[in-house]
Chain A
């Protein structure tokens, strides 16, 4: 077979059976599809085998499972079970009786049979390969970074044993050098305090991050006493305060005695105490992360840093790392959590097994499903919903006119984002200059806690005009201060401490979204808008036109832009907009 006729190499990466399952398809080392299963099942953080995501991946590439050269799972289940899980059972004995039963049922029924389940459910009989959990995270950050070499840091709850790793990437080689072991985990510490504050674990850690600026570090010393933190960033948690090794809860009475208050009941009132706890936790996290990356710089010298693992979604800590100046360039995998493990696993195999060459970079995350204009119009006609079709030229100006002021607009375009953030294709947009939009979007559209801030999108070339940031932030993973003289101009995206979690946009990343921002800037003189995810609380981000229309009809969103179709709430028949309670009742609160 000539080189022109060579069959492409397809690798399917999977992450599942813990939380945030996902499927990623590589073709000759390039990502052709990536999506989380939750978007299709509409079950937030769905952990099931991502059958629907795989089906859509194959369809988008025009192939079947017979064309797949390897399926890769993002961790080593037998190492996890026979080493860490059973070792933990023995270490905590005689505690953990119920946890033991739960774990054994789960593992004996499902998690010990992963290759068999994959082969049966996906109708696949090729090789099934396994990377380690932190190798998956590391690969998801290093290989797409575009850096010729980099120090790599991965920090999460736990993989097999590792909770934190440091490594070095050079060319196509990646070597993990040092690690910290379970139960000593910065991710689990953050989750434990999230639990103590009455929020949902593995779901609401970012809410604690958003709550922190409202507090003072009044409990920082007590928070520090939860760990023995070394200068090199390594640490050991005092497990007397945590129950996650052996129980179904994360913390117990000891932590309540330490802080002097019982655990907050979910949905209970948030007091200054809770805000101070959140702030103290965030300050400690910043300190630990800074020490870890400093140690990474010493151990794995490079001008570049790659970050992944769930804790890399902590934008505040990322901002601290950036401002430290330790590294010239930083790349953070946008899908830094377990969903990104599917990407990393596939990339690791591409390099290690197939000797493939590096990706050129990771310019955007628009890697999921998309819907053609004809399909959208056909759907709207079927549902009998009135709409107006705009031309490509008229779309940005028309929507920018609507955005000015009070209108909140659902924006559904192109390919769906991969990772937890909406970056302009499945977004709810609003005017950042209107302070009322903060309250309106939080309470009447997303039905979420009022303290939660909104993130801005800004034209990349204008970022330093508005924020204390001189570099691109395309994935909304960096927090920086809004310039003091701009805070009154964009109050709806300025957090209580003057900071913002910024997304910059450039033409080659998303031309339509950039056109919209430029049109808004021409009209208002402001290059910043609110960009929040297109969903209500507890709901996965919308995937299809049907999801988008349902969210639009059952909230107080003013307009919806589906491709080139514009729908206005004022034109919707009344009968279609009822049933809000039933709609919201589908989604468990996160």
Chain B
């Protein structure tokens, strides 16, 4: 059942406000994720990397990972 004009306008206005709230909260949540989860993991990886010493290899070619059964059905 179509909404009356006034309610439709209020609904559209609320959707715009909701989108704005979503953009802000999304930014905040992603930033927290980036600083905490990614940041901590990244720092651990960098520290571990400092302990590893390697000289450049003779070749940078890497073997292609072998295929697995029914791989076509999967997005990974």
Contact = CB atoms under 8 A, between A and B. Distances in A.
A complexed with B: yes
Contact of B38 (A76, A89, A353): A89
Contacts of A145: none
A320 interface: no
B75 A114 contact: yes
B59 A232 contact: yes
Contact of A77 (B62, B64, B75): B75
A83 B76 CA distance: 9
Contact of B26 (A83, A105, A130, A235): A105
A236 B56 contact: yes
A167 B63 CA distance: 11
Contacts of A131: 72
A130 B45 contact: no
Nearest to A234: B60
A352 B30 contact: no
A90 B63 contact: no
Interface residues of B, number: 24
Interface in A79-93: 79, 82-83, 89-91, 93
A93 B35 CA distance: 9
A504 to B, nearest CB: 35
A177 B65 CA distance: 8
A93 B64 contact: no
Interface stretch (A44-52, A96-104, A268-276, A461-469): A96-104
B60 A101 contact: no
Nearest to B74: A130
A180 interface: yes
Contacts of A179: 61-64
A482 to B, nearest CB: 38
A100 B34 contact: yes
Contact of B61 (A72, A127, A232): A232
B57 to A, nearest CB: 9
A347 to B, nearest CB: 13
B3 interface: no
B74 A184 contact: no
Contact of B60 (A82, A114, A230): A230
11 contacts: A76-B74, A77-B75, A79-B75, A90-B42, A91-B45, A97-B34, A129-B73, A178-B62, A180-B61, A235-B60, A349-B72
Given A101-B27, A234-B60, A352-B72, 10 more contacts: A89-B34, A89-B38, A89-B42, A91-B45, A97-B34, A100-B30, A100-B38, A178-B64, A180-B61, A349-B72
Interface of A: 72, 76-79, 82-83, 89-91, 93-94, 97, 100-101, 104-105, 114-115, 127, 129-131, 162, 165-167, 176-181, 184, 228, 230, 232, 234-236, 295, 349, 352-353
Interface of B: 26-27, 30-31, 34, 38-39, 41-43, 45, 56, 58-64, 72-76
